[in-house]
């Protein structure tokens, strides 16, 4: 069952994010060593808070999987990372974003900022189900969907769902792939 997330889903979504990205190279670059346990939840909460108010967060199975999207056009103003993360972490995040964002499309698009599935629910296609409402919205708007990932394993998973590679970038010493999807009708 897929539902639009509400603020009451915040804790479950953060838990899913933390479990899903525990070994992700991008998140481990941003939050090295022991900082992951304390700073990644702040980051996940910020991403959730920024998007839930816009109605662009969908969850599967009560939050076992989550898709957090940015719709085309100006979104709600976002607090700078330095307002909720230590300066060194905020600098890494700003640097990573500065290296990735020039490779994202300039035309309107739906951006899948987070797709996470609790590893305890892996293999049930919950991530794919949680992402579908955003893909439908992209198709309805007549614009592509775009994401980036830092693992080749994820690239294969996304390609099996109809995504294609738009660009390969090295950011923070990590290979990252930017993918595009035409949306679902």
| Contact indicator for 21, 116 with CB cutoff of 8 Å | yes
Q: What is the pLDDT of residue 37?
A: 96
Lowest model confidence (mean pLDDT) among 80-94, 105-119, 133-147: 80-94
**Whether residue 121 has pLDDT greater than 60:** yes
125 vs 183, which has greater pLDDT? 125
Q: What is the pLDDT of residue 82?
A: 82
Q: What is the C-alpha separation between 59 and 173, in angstroms, rounded?
A: 32
Q: Using a cut of 0.75, tell me whether the model's pTM lies above it.
A: yes
Q: What is the pLDDT of residue 75?
A: 64
**Whether residue 96 has pLDDT greater than 90:** yes
**Residue for token pair 């990735």:** 100
Mean pLDDT, range 61-68, rounded to an integer: 97
Q: What is the pLDDT of residue 78?
A: 73
Copy the structure tokens of residue 32. 């090295």
| Contact indicator for 134, 54 with CB cutoff of 8 Å | no
Q: Which residues contact 152 (CB under 8 A, 6 or more apart)?
A: 175, 177
Give residue-wise pLDDT tens across range 142-174: 999 999 999 999 999 999 999 999 999 999 899
**Residue 98 backbone phi and psi in degrees, to 5:** -65, -30
For the chain, domain boundaries: 2-181
Lowest model confidence (mean pLDDT) among 71-80, 95-104, 136-145: 71-80
Q: What is the C-alpha separation between 106 and 185, in angstroms, rounded?
A: 23
Q: What confidence category does residue 77 fall into, taking pLDDT thresholds of 50, 70 and 90?
A: low
Q: Provide CATH code, domain 2-181.
A: 3.40.630.30
Q: What average pLDDT does the chain have?
A: 94
């Amino acid at each position: 069952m897929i539902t639009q997330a509400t603020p009451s889903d915040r804790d479950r979504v953060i838990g899913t994010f933390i479990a899903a990205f525990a070994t992700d190279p991008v998140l481990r670059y941003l939050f090295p060593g022991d900082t992951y346990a304390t700073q990644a939840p702040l980051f996940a909460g910020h991403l959730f808070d920024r998007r839930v108010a816009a109605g662009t967060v969908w969850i599967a199975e009560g939050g076992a999987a989550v898709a957090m999207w940015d719709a085309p056009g100006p979104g709600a103003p976002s607090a700078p990372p330095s307002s909720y993360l230590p300066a060194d972490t905020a600098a890494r995040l700003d640097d990573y974003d500065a290296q990735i964002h020039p490779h994202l499309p300039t035309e309107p698009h739906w951006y899948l900022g987070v797709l996470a599935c609790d590893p305890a629910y892996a293999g049930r296609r919950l991530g794919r189900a949680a992402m579908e409402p955003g893909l439908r919205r992209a198709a309805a708007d007549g614009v592509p969907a775009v994401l980036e990932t830092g693992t080749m394993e994820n690239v294969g998973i996304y390609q099996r769902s109809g995504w294609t590679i738009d660009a390969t970038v090295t950011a923070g010493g990590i290979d990252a792939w930017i993918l595009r999807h035409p949306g679902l009708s």
